[in-house]
């Protein structure tokens, strides 16, 4: 029989995946949509590459949320489908996988599902395409293979069949009798068969206990609620931490013990046993500091981004670059390489530019530093030189220096007092000064310290931790969890690589908020800057998913601007090239949009790998 | 309040853990028994170390399977407890944790549990010790904190109280009302409180699907059974693999594609679609080959183990060392470093001695090679030089060369024909030649290829895969899974480190079966060899757990022999020092004993870390 493999089952770029599949002797592949979107190859080029390799494209996948929808919604889904069929024509693929829907707007109506799948199959037939409908194990209304088959049978359309997937079937099977229904399906109506195995769950409470315990505040238990009840009994013994955890078993004992004690201090504070200095939640990002031996590449980039050098430190080779409320310090001092560079940045001075410090706008820097110290954060020397403004600073778990400071606020020393105006230099783009600021700073973290970092930013700085998100990089899954202030003026997505050795794989980045990302992207390219090229396939997909004004999408495509939308608003963003271990992002955030464009991250990460190799090559 | 941390919550040696806890400002520690057993410090030395560091020992843990037992069993449990109380006297610890039992021999009888815990508390009181009884979430008859408290209350013994553990309580809690019972416990009867958090399970079918799918034959699903049913429908489309897996996402696409195709070939064979050359299951280990630049350290060790150099390769600097049926090739050729060394060994020629090849005694070497080739194993050149005996060989996924060969069998060329007797050299210890042989070869595997390696040995060689076992190394959890022939003449425990970077952390080892491990251990030490020193605490624990003949345990302690017992028989084993990336184990296996001494592995691994540092220092 013919053998195939889904591109999602292999690591790397689409080209690497296709080559590996062909060399191992597979006859064909399933093209996973995200691999197509992230590829710089056009569908016809992918087709040609496959033909050269002797591979057929046996399936294009997945299409989803297309059946049992309200009429308007279904019309939009058909529009998306037509677009995908055009992509498939380019690929020369003749079978598309349609998964049972998960949309809350779908209705539980098999007849409607059958009718709409028939309509889809009509359209597919025009393209010479067959539709294979598969029940996802977690489908909203259709989650079993026999249910999916009943709908396909009811539709009775020659271009509509079913796809069987061993994972979806066996993960829900309680015994062999659950498979009897397969015998009722005529073989010619099974358009495709996907095979995977899986370890049986076995995540019983014993496994949970032995591998996944964590320190209080790093999981989902109400440990404080439990402690309060125990304290009310009059218990006077020790509070003792007992954690069995696969990551902790590998992490250095010293930092883990500090993390553990901090967790316990926060728990004691929460339950009123311990009084700590109250948090002084930062209200903004005063500056980000880059350390570099060779300032030219990064200052060239800053100039292209509309920054101007406005001041220089009185005693050290540190320049202040400003645009609007965004401030970047560029530190080229001989002292710079002696700084302990952040662990998470994976940076050594030899790597060039690294992001090593952040200035946090603090309502009460001294109080914030007292809290940090009480919570075991290493406090850094208050002044670097005798004549400098005393600045409170602490080290985050990843080694990043966090300066607790004030910009232009009464009764608080201004950190800029150490800087002297650069003669003849003034901020450029004075037209929209306040509209330009640091939106977020993405901080890569050491693999072993991710949970600690989240708890640190939450407990020490008083930021809120958002949901953890998995992001697919071509070479492994990354995890990202943002810590933010309530009003969003401080946002640090903390990210971590797929494995311990990956600490160095990802650069850190500074996202700059603008109210006109197109204008700023153009300014940069006019200044000779390069924006990260985004594959055309991504824009073809955007066209299928959203409606744009005339010319809008073309502009995004030309510049490499990515687009996302949530229930609240839209998000437009683009990326500069990477200098050393740092790159910049320009973001235009509609007020309501809350995220960071996570849906676009796989495409962006793949493009960064491509660009890196292009440079390296 | 006083704060403590369990030593199991920190990584490293006991000394590292204590130092880290003290530096982070904890007041005390819980000593986890395995950390004590693995430590070279005697209990009184641990006490002194803690005192120096300003740490109290707030708890000793765990004691288990002591309540609601049949009389004879309880008497043995009390004997064990007395021994532990003596250890605690040495430590100066005054509270012991007793977990609710998991033994199938325990009965569901709260009154008996209370009576026996009272007896235990009587004994504890004589030592000035308090017993804190805790419900494990997976306890056999007692699994909730309120149940444990009812038993403690019924016992009414001043030296018996309860221990509350947030993990065990909250992992079973369905809501805050489940915690109401805490209010019924008087604070002074809560002898201890252990705190941990945990991520909420959330391992729903979606997470299972997106992170843990694997190739057929690598999980627990009956994929072949499903495929058979689909084939009976007349399905004629492709067999396509669709696997979402966190490890695969990081692993090189080329080897993964080969692994995937091999999985599919085996599935096709199992379902009768594809006919492959039948397996020729190896019947024994003909030899193990070590590559080294400096033979002296390893040949010295072999001599001490009773081996003698019996032959030399006609054309290459490869010596055959033999004792009984155990044969080791020592390859010092200039060609040796050019060999591709096994990935899993983490070896480079500069590291010195490495285990790079294994000779498998094959009933039909040519057929075995045909099967391996059909299953995409790289086939190695059949002869190294024109005059050599043609030898079939394939490469395992970790790069180890597997020679399919015959020793002294009619109608098959003997691989030893390429070797000429070393003049005047004959095997030593001719008294028990057959009793000495290679019992098993432990092969460290590259982190990304562990599942592939298991499937390879199972599918290509026809070995059986045993259960996967987690083993606690001081610096992370290792995984080990043995592949074996039915009669146990071929046994390869495949092991993998805690994280991708750890490929190099573990050396490979050859276990030699003897019928008198004591005599062989003595022989080695008389010859000036070193056996791995095992901490005295381990033997004190053995004394509490098993009965030994007079002097037996002292002998084991003197030599560093470890002891284990399963339902079938006993196992005695000891370890040599490590040469390059290889060490040897001497094992005496009672016929029925099936394992590899996994219970002793944490002590052995800790001792190896200690020995390495001792050498390094």
Between A and B, how many CB-CB pairs are < 8 A? 437
Q: Are residues A512 and A594 in the same domain?
A: yes
> Does the distance separating the beta carbons of B20 and A253 come in below 8 Å?
yes
Nearest-CA residue of chain A relative to B169?
A: A226
B428 falls within a domain: no
Q: Which of B32, B91, B24 is nearest to B474 (CA)?
A: B32
Residues of B within 8 A of A58 (CB-CB) are: 237-238, 240
Residue A473 has pLDDT above 50, yes or no: yes
Q: Which of B591, B436, B418, B430 is nearest to B514 (CA)?
A: B436
Q: Is some CB atom of chain B closer than 8 A to the CB atom of A257?
A: yes
Lowest mean pLDDT among A81-85, A477-481, B26-30, B246-250: B246-250
Q: How far is CA B42 from CA A163, B30, B55, B89, in A?
A: 64, 16, 17, 12
Q: Are residues B389 and B519 in the same domain?
A: no
Q: Which of A170, A196, A221 sits opposite B241 (nearest CB)?
A: A196
Q: Are residues A18 and A154 in the same domain?
A: yes
Angle between helix axes A450-459 and A253-270 (nearest 10 degrees) is 40
CA gap A310, A297 in Å, rounded? 18
Q: What part of A 23-82 touches B (C-beta under 8 Å)?
A: 23-28, 30, 58-59
**Alpha carbon B550 to chain centroid, angstroms:** 30
How far apart are the CA of A563 and the nearest CA of chain B, in angstroms? 25
Q: Are residues B535 and B479 in the same domain?
A: yes
DSSP characters over A332-397: --TTGGGS---TTTT--GGG--EEEEEEEE-SSHHHHHHHHHHTTPPEEPS-SSTTSPP-EEEE-T
Residues of B within 8 A of A257 (CB-CB) are: 5, 10, 20-21, 23-24, 26
Average pLDDT, chain A: 90
**pLDDT, tens digit, 9 for 90 and up, residues B407-450:** 999 889 899 999 998 766 555 545 555 579 999 999 999 888 89
A429 falls within a domain: no
Higher pLDDT: A410 or A112? It is A112
- State which of A421, A447, A465 marks the end of a domain: A421
ipTM value: 0.85
Nearest-CA residue of chain A relative to B478?
A: A246
Q: Is some CB atom of chain B closer than 8 A to the CB atom of A272?
A: no
CATH of the domain at A57: 3.20.20.150
Structurally, chain A folds into a number of domains equal to 4
| Residue A549 phi, psi dihedral angles, 5° rounding | -65, 155
A431 falls within a domain: no
Residue A351 has pLDDT above 90, yes or no: no
Lowest mean pLDDT among A246-255, A323-332, A490-499, B560-569: A246-255
**What average pLDDT score do residues B329-353 get?**
59
Residues of B within 8 A of A477 (CB-CB) are: 211, 246, 249
Indicate the pLDDT class of residue B202, thresholds 50, 70 and 90: low
B199 falls within a domain: no
Domain that holds residue A211: 205-270
Q: Are residues B172 and B309 in the same domain?
A: no
Q: Which of A138, A242, A250 sits opposite B205 (nearest CB)?
A: A138
Q: Which of A259, A299, A279, A320 is nearest to A456 (CA)?
A: A259
Indicate the pLDDT class of residue B345, thresholds 50, 70 and 90: very low
Identify the pLDDT of residue A384.
Answer: 67
Residues of B within 8 A of A204 (CB-CB) are: 138
- State which of A392, A421, A450 marks the end of a domain: A421
Indicate the pLDDT class of residue B346, thresholds 50, 70 and 90: very low
Indicate the pLDDT class of residue A501, thresholds 50, 70 and 90: low
B304 falls within a domain: yes
> Which pair of structure tokens corresponds to residue A588?
């235009």
A105 falls within a domain: yes
What is the enclosing helix (H) or strand (E) of B130?
strand B130-134
Q: Is some CB atom of chain A closer than 8 A to the CB atom of B410?
A: no
> Does the distance separating the beta carbons of B197 and A238 come in below 8 Å?
no
Q: Is some CB atom of chain A closer than 8 A to the CB atom of B216?
A: yes
The DSSP output letter for B502 is G
CATH of the domain at B308: 3.10.180.10
Identify the pLDDT of residue A504.
Answer: 47
> Does the distance separating the beta carbons of A190 and B20 come in below 8 Å?
no
CA gap A529, A583 in Å, rounded? 12
Nearest-CA residue of chain A relative to B16?
A: A253
> Does the distance separating the beta carbons of B1 and A243 come in below 8 Å?
no
CA gap A10, A16 in Å, rounded? 9
A contact test, residue of B253, B448, B450 with most A CBs within 10 A: B253
Q: Is some CB atom of chain B closer than 8 A to the CB atom of A101?
A: no
**pLDDT, tens digit, 9 for 90 and up, residues A519-537:** 999 999 999 998 999 999 9
Identify the pLDDT of residue B501.
Answer: 64
How far apart are the CA of A553 and the nearest CA of chain B, in angstroms? 32
Q: Which of B196, B212, B254 sits opposite A241 (nearest CB)?
A: B196
Strands B284-291 and B326-331, how do they pair? parallel
Instruction: Tell me the three-class secondary structure of B386-408, residue by residue.
Output: CCCCCCEEEECCCCCEEEEEECC
- State which of B387, B421, B455 marks the end of a domain: B421
Q: Which of B25, B248, B477 sits opposite A261 (nearest CB)?
A: B25
CA gap B51, B350 in Å, rounded? 44
Q: Are residues A71 and A24 in the same domain?
A: yes
A128 falls within a domain: yes
Q: Are residues A163 and A243 in the same domain?
A: no
Q: Are residues A512 and A611 in the same domain?
A: yes
Handedness of CA A564, A570, A574, A575 (dihedral sign): negative
Residues of B within 8 A of A241 (CB-CB) are: 4-6, 9, 194-196
Q: Is some CB atom of chain B closer than 8 A to the CB atom of A224?
A: no
B327 falls within a domain: yes
Binding positions of A for a divalent metal cation: 134, 165, 194, 242
Cβ neighbours of residue A417 closer than 8 Å, sequence gap 6 or more: A389
Q: Where are the alpha helices (DSSP H) in B326-474?
A: 365-374, 450-459
Q: Are residues B338 and B359 in the same domain?
A: yes
Handedness of CA B423, B424, B430, B435 (dihedral sign): negative
Residues of A within 8 A of B239 (CB-CB) are: 1-4, 193, 195
**pLDDT, tens digit, 9 for 90 and up, residues A254-287:** 999 999 999 999 999 999 999 999 999 999 999 9
How far apart are the CA of A110 and the nearest CA of chain B, in angstroms? 23
Indicate the pLDDT class of residue A176, thresholds 50, 70 and 90: confident
Q: Are A43 and A80 in contact (CB under 8 A)?
A: no
Q: Are residues A400 and A526 in the same domain?
A: no
Q: Are residues A234 and A183 in the same domain?
A: no
Residue A297 has pLDDT above 60, yes or no: yes
**What average pLDDT score do residues A121-139 get?**
97
Residue B348 has pLDDT above 70, yes or no: no
Q: Are residues A571 and A457 in the same domain?
A: yes
**pLDDT, tens digit, 9 for 90 and up, residues A195-216:** 999 877 665 777 777 788 889 9
Q: Are B466 and B484 in contact (CB under 8 A)?
A: yes
Binding positions of B: 134, 165, 194, 242, 440, 509, 585
CA gap A282, A483 in Å, rounded? 12
Cβ neighbours of residue A17 closer than 8 Å, sequence gap 6 or more: A7, A10, A11, A29, A35, B253
Q: Which of A204, A134, A208, A146 is nearest to A173 (CA)?
A: A146
Of how many residues is chain B composed? 617
Q: Is some CB atom of chain A closer than 8 A to the CB atom of B21?
A: yes
Residues of A within 8 A of B33 (CB-CB) are: none
């Amino acid at each position: 029989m013919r053998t195939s493999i889904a591109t999602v089952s292999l690591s790397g770029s689409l080209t690497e995946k296709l080559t590996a599949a062909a060399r191992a002797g597979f006859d064909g592949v399933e093209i996973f949509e995200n691999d197509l979107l992230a590829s710089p190859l056009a569908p016809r080029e992918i087709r040609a590459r496959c033909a050269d390799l002797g591979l057929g494209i046996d399936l294009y996948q997945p299409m989803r949320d297309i059946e049992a929808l309200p009429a308007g919604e279904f019309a939009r889904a058909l529009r998306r489908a037509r677009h995908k069929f055009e992509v498939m024509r380019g690929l020369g693929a003749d079978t598309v996988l349609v998964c049972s829907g998960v949309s809350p707007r779908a209705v539980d109506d098999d007849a409607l599902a059958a009718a709409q799948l028939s309509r889809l199959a009509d359209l597919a037939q025009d393209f010479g395409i067959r539709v294979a409908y598969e029940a996802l194990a977690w489908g909203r209304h259709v989650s079993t293979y026999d249910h999916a088959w009943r709908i396909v049978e009811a539709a009775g359309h020659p271009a509509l069949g079913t796809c069987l997937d061993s994972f979806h079937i066996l993960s829900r099977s309680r015994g062999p009798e659950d498979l009897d229904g397969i015998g009722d399906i005529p073989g010619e109506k099974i358009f495709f068969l996907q095979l995977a195995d899986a370890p049986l769950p076995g995540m019983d409470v014993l496994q949970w206990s032995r591998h996944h315990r964590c320190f209080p505040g790093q999981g989902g238990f109400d440990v404080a609620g439990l402690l309060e009840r125990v304290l009310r009994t009059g218990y006077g013994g020790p509070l003792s931490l007992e954690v069995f955890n696969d990551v902790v078993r590998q992490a250095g004992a010293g930092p883990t013990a500090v993390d553990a004690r901090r967790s316990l201090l926060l728990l004691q504070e929460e339950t009123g046993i311990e009084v700590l200095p109250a948090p002084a939640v930062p209200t903004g990002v005063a500056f980000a500091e880059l350390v570099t031996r060779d300032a030219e590449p990064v200052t060239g980039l800053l100039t292209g981004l509309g920054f101007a050098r406005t001041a220089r430190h009185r005693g050290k080779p540190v320049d202040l670059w400003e645009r609007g409320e965004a401030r970047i310090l560029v530190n080229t001092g001989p002292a710079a390489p002696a700084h302990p560079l952040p662990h998470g940045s994976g940076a050594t001075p030899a790597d060039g530019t690294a992001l090593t410090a952040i200035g946090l706008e603090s309502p009460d820097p001294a109080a914030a530093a007292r809290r940090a110290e009480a919570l075991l954060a290493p406090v850094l020397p208050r002044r670097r030189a005798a004549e400098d403004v005393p600045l409170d600073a602490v080290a985050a778990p990843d080694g990043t220096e966090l300066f607790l400071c004030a910009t232009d606020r009464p009764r608080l020393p201004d950190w800029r007092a150490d800087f002297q105006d650069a003669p003849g230099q003034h901020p450029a783009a004075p037209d929209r000064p306040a509209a330009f600021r640091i939106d977020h700073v993405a901080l890569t973290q050491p693999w072993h310290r991710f949970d600690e970092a989240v708890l640190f930013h939450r407990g020490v700085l008083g930021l809120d931790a958002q949901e953890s998100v998995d992001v697919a990089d071509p070479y492994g899954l990354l995890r990202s969890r943002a810590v933010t202030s309530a009003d969003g003026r401080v946002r640090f997505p903390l990210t971590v690589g797929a494995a311990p050795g990956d600490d160095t794989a990802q650069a850190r980045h500074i996202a700059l908020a603008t109210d006109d990302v197109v204008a700023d992207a153009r300014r940069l390219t006019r200044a000779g800057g390069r924006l990260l090229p985004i594959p055309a396939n991504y824009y073809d997909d955007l066209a299928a998913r959203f409606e744009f004004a005339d010319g809008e999408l073309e502009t995004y495509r030309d510049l490499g601007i990515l687009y996302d939308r949530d229930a609240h608003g839209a998000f437009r963003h683009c990326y500069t090239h990477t200098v050393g271990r740092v790159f910049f992002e320009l973001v235009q955030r509609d007020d309501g949009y809350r995220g960071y464009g996570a849906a676009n991250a796989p495409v962006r990460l793949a493009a960064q790998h491509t660009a890196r190799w292009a440079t390296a090559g």
